[in-house]
Structure 1
Amino acid sequence: MAVHRVEVAVQGPWSLATSRAFWEGFTPSALPERTGEALEATFLVEGEWRRASVSVTQHGATAVLSLSGAGDLDRAATQVCRFLSLDVDGRAWPDVGLRDPVIGLAQSSLPGLRPCGFYSPYEAAAWSVLAQRIRMSQAAALKASLLRDGVFIPPAELRGADLDLPGRKAEYLRAVAEAALDGVLDGPRLRALKPAAAVLEVQQVKGLGPFAAELVVLRGANAPDAVPHNEARLSDEVAERYGRPLAEVSEEWRPYRTWASVHLRVLRERRLAGVPAGAQAEAVPG
């Protein structure tokens, strides 16, 4: 199968190695640790829901995407740039660390990290349903049961599937599938909206409450500048480090409030694990 090569000029700091380590530790993505320098992934292309594979390498400030698959590979490349945060102008990101020493510490210990999200808002929404009221390891096992040849089940197939899942998860997953097919969970559309408006729209999908809707927008559509208001661990970390409310502290993080929130969450996980604040970990928990 022919390989479609796309070169992307990444604006601002970026390290493929740091970002890949972050994603390999991001439980919902279930990306296995790999040898070599490339980040490799296989996913469903939004809208047409066909498989595509990508191998991402870094050459200085350029990301090289080598794509293959039966679908629209230009669309697939755009999606890759979104879920790897390569489409964000990060040239002013270092300024946030200069304004806020806590974020500056995170930037220095996670050099070049760009938060990697879900392949699509559809998969983020499905994960939110699967993870409700159960442990992450259990949710990961449920997700694994819904993979088809290594990728998550397409929405049309999920809508008609006979699902043996606890509680109302099957009902909610069918609602997620319908929303994906109707374009409600379209990544480019959600990114084009203001984050608060996008969150409200996602909440109209049955089974997706405020926490889930924020996950879909901030990590599914990978919106770079929004504050998660329903993430208790982030609020606790802000209280621990700043002694002030998240809404007040996060004003200094514009226009990268999501990025700063992710960095702060990583600092929290490292602190709780006993990792020295200035150390660079080989793998970064998501």
Structure 2
Amino acid sequence: MTTPILARTELPTGEIAVRGPFDLSAATRFLAGFGPAGRPDAASEPGVLRLAFPSDGDWRHVGATIRQRPPGEPGTDVFTTGSPGPAFAGSSDAFGAVSPLRPSPDIGPYGRSSHDPASVAASPFATGPADSDRSGRPPSTASSAVPGAFGTVEVEVSAPVEAAGRVLAQVGRMLSLDVDGSGFTGLGFRDPVLAGLQARRAGLRPVLFSSPYEAGCWSVLAQGMRFSQAMRFRRRLAERYGKVVDVGGYRVLSFPAPGVLADLPFEPGLADFRTARLRAVAKAAAEGRLDPAELREMRVADALERLREIPGIGQFSAEQILARGAGHSDFFPRADARLHHAMREEYGLLDSVGPADLELLAGAWRPYRSWAALLLRVDRDAVPIMEEVMAA
């Protein structure tokens, strides 16, 4: 939740060049309806999203105020390296000087991009290798899309200047802006089902947990527990062990850092086994075993195996942590029964069609299989992630 406060200071501000369709308002609406985020107020201020979270690496509590600039709107120069991702304003160094606070622009929603089907068919993103050969690296430098051609996302960082670069990069990952999405719309030209999903959820990319660590903690809370009850425990943990961060003049609650939950004491109503599993996830994060970049670089099978080594993390949880915590954009969730049901419904398939055949069908979504899977889940009005009872 957010609470306004009076004190304001000038903060480091950076920009992320967007490749491919993206609508910040779609992301905020998703976040507001996504119970595990604990942010039903996320869409309360049009055109602005405020986040607070433990930062990658040092786990200090930081915040970000996020706005979107449409293509061509005058703003601070953005310096990039030719691939999607963050850059701070006012310097040719990727994370050099910072700019003063600027007022919020009036941002409207974006529509779908206008790709030529012929050019999409020739795109290097039209097909991709098998999971065993493909890492979770964003398909960036292979694209001919111009950085910022779909606008930019402005991020006002509530953190010390020396941490601003890491925070900006983390926000990019959380909003899936570190992935070149310029080829995603073109997949719909060959798949009418996906085209319909893209039209109904225009500009929506996966909105991630702040880290694989936070995704793992939610998976432990959700296992075998009613959704509303899991939400209450998550809120209690954040209030007792997290921190309130001043984010652009508002107080926003940040999830506890791993070093705190690694020593989590007994919590009334929380079973001992669940407390032990939360400690195990926190310990893995503190030891560096949940580094998002490393998980994305690994083969999918190896990354899932590493995640399953953590007590309480089964196949379903591991897949969701990889997709919605680390931000791997291209693998098929083999244990997601809700997704499989949605695919059978949308594609008019028999109930007897199993995960192996559905995975073959999903091959047409490469290299955005995780993105397409999210659209299916959201469009079917299912809880987007981790409500199922998950095996330990």
> What TM-score results when the alignment is normalised by the length of structure 1?
0.91
Q: 1:263 maps to which residue?
A: 375
Q: 1:163 maps to which residue?
A: 266
The aligned runs of 1:1-286 (5 Å cut-off) are: 1-33=9-41, 34-60=44-70, 61-70=151-160, 72-147=163-238, 148-149=242-243, 150-164=253-267, 165-242=270-347, 243=349, 245-269=357-381
Could you list the runs of 5+ residues in structure 2 that have no partner in the other structure? 1-8, 71-150, 244-252, 386-392
2:264 and 2:25 map into 1 onto residues whose CA distance is 38
Deviation at 1:285, TM superposition (A): 6.6
> How large is the RMSD of aligned CA atoms in angstroms?
1.6
Distance change in 2, residues 1:18/1:246 (3 Å): same
Deviation at 1:195, TM superposition (A): 2.6
Secondary structure in structure 2 of the residue aligned to 1:160: coil
Q: Deviations over 1:47-93 (max 9, x none)?
A: 20101110111111101111012461211111110011011100100
Q: Deviations over 1:184-243 (max 9, x none)?
A: 111121122233321111111111111111111000011111111111111011112221
Q: Deviations over 1:155-192 (max 9, x none)?
A: 11111121321251011011111100111111121122
Is residue 85–residue 115 contact of structure 1 (8 Å, CA) maintained in 2?
A: yes
Is residue 25–residue 285 contact of structure 1 (8 Å, CA) maintained in 2?
A: no
1:285 and 1:161 map into 2 onto residues whose CA distance is 28
Q: Deviations over 1:112-132 (max 9, x none)?
A: 111101010000000000110
Deviation at 1:262, TM superposition (A): 0.4
2:166 and 2:152 map into 1 onto residues whose CA distance is 19
Is residue 25–residue 46 contact of structure 2 (8 Å, CA) maintained in 1?
A: no
1:188 and 1:101 map into 2 onto residues whose CA distance is 33
Is residue 374–residue 384 contact of structure 2 (8 Å, CA) maintained in 1?
A: no
Deviation at 1:6, TM superposition (A): 1.0
Is residue 261–residue 282 contact of structure 2 (8 Å, CA) maintained in 1?
A: yes
Q: Deviations over 1:138-170 (max 9, x none)?
A: 111111111123211111111112132125101
1:56 and 1:64 map into 2 onto residues whose CA distance is 6
Deviation at 1:246, TM superposition (A): 1.6
Deviation at 1:37, TM superposition (A): 1.1
1:196 and 1:259 map into 2 onto residues whose CA distance is 19
Secondary structure in structure 2 of the residue aligned to 1:170: helix
Is residue 22–residue 285 contact of structure 1 (8 Å, CA) maintained in 2?
A: no
Secondary structure in structure 2 of the residue aligned to 1:58: strand
Is residue 31–residue 40 contact of structure 2 (8 Å, CA) maintained in 1?
A: no
1:143 and 1:44 map into 2 onto residues whose CA distance is 15
2:317 and 2:18 map into 1 onto residues whose CA distance is 30
> What TM-score results when the alignment is normalised by the length of structure 2?
0.67
- Runs of 4+ with >4 A deviation: none
Distance change in 2, residues 1:240/1:229 (3 Å): same
Q: Report percent identity of matched pairs.
A: 38
